[in-house]
Structure 1
Amino acid sequence: MIGLCLGLSGAIWAQVQVSDFTLAWNHTIEKVRWEEDYRVTEAGLVLGEARVKGNGAGMDIPEGARLENGSWRFHRQLPPLQPLKLGRTPQAGDYQLCHAGHCQPMSHWLGAPSTEQPAVELWSCTL
């Protein structure tokens, strides 16, 4: 069975049994929520729809986005990501992993963000 691995440089820190998930976070300066939907495949993480509540520093709403229920919704055409690299520091706050309508901070699996370990990678893996 394929699921989601969290770690760095191939070292697995946690595994999550999901076939799809939403990665959510708040922009560090603008405090605007950003969400990206991913599907877990053997080739990697496939980005589906992305949503953002508004634009700001480094967060321009892409051309073709549509406003729906207070969020700008759009799709980006990217190859599967394997791995998806994320910065994770105490100053930026934590990411959330959401699945089946329930969200948990990434700290649930990895502990709190720290300056000693300011990054994490997500990739598809065999559970």
Structure 2
Amino acid sequence: MIGLCLGLSGVVWAQLQLSEFTLAWNHTIEKVRWEEDYRVTETGLILGEARIKGNGAGMEIPEGARLEHGSWRYHRSLPPLQPLKLGRTPQAGDYQLCDGGHCEPMAHWLGPPSAQQPAVELWSCPL
């Protein structure tokens, strides 16, 4: 069975039994919510739909996005991400992982973001 691993440089800090999830965060300056849907596969994380509540400094609405239910929705064609690298610092706030509409901050599994460990990677892995 394939699931989601969280860690850095191949070192697993947490494993989650997920086949799909939403990665969500608030833009550090504009405080606008971003969401990206991923599917967990053997070849990596496949990005599906993404949503953004609005635009602002350094965050333009992507070309082809459509406004639906208060969010701009769009798709980007990317190869499977293996790993997906994320910056994670106290100043930026934490990411959320959502499954079935229920969201938890990454701190739930990894502890709070810290300046000593300013990054995390997500990848598909055998459970």
- Whether TM-score is above 0.5 comes out as yes
Tell me how far 1:58 sits from its aligned partner.
1.8
Tell me how far 1:59 sits from its aligned partner.
1.1
What does residue 61 of structure 1 align with?
Answer: 61
Give the whole-Å Cα distance in 1 for the aligned partners of 2:84 and 2:58.
19
What does residue 25 of structure 1 align with?
Answer: 25
What does residue 39 of structure 2 align with?
Answer: 39
Give the whole-Å Cα distance in 2 for the aligned partners of 1:126 and 1:56.
39
Give the whole-Å Cα distance in 2 for the aligned partners of 1:58 and 1:126.
37
Task: For 2:98, give the aligned amino acid.
Answer: C
Residue aligned with 1:115, SS: coil
Q: Which deviates further from its counterpart, 82-91 or 55-64?
A: 55-64
1:4 partnered with 2:39: no
Give the whole-Å Cα distance in 2 for the aligned partners of 1:3 and 1:57.
35
1:17-70 per-residue CA deviation (whole Å, 9 max, x = no partner) reads 000000000000000000000000000000000000001122111111000000
Give the whole-Å Cα distance in 2 for the aligned partners of 1:121 and 1:115.
16
Task: For 1:71, give the aligned amino acid.
Answer: S
**Superposed CA RMSD:** 0.4
Alignment of 1:1-127 (within 5 A): 1-127=1-127
Give the whole-Å Cα distance in 2 for the aligned partners of 1:102 and 1:27.
20
Q: % of aligned pairs identical?
A: 84
Give the whole-Å Cα distance in 2 for the aligned partners of 1:117 and 1:19.
27
Task: For 1:54, give the aligned amino acid.
Answer: G
Tell me how far 1:114 sits from its aligned partner.
0.2
Gaps of 5+ in 2: none
Task: For 2:87, give the aligned amino acid.
Answer: G
Tell me how far 1:101 sits from its aligned partner.
1.1
User: How many residue pairs end up in the alignment?
Assistant: 127
Structure 1 length normalisation: TM-score? 0.99
Task: For 2:102, give the aligned amino acid.
Answer: H
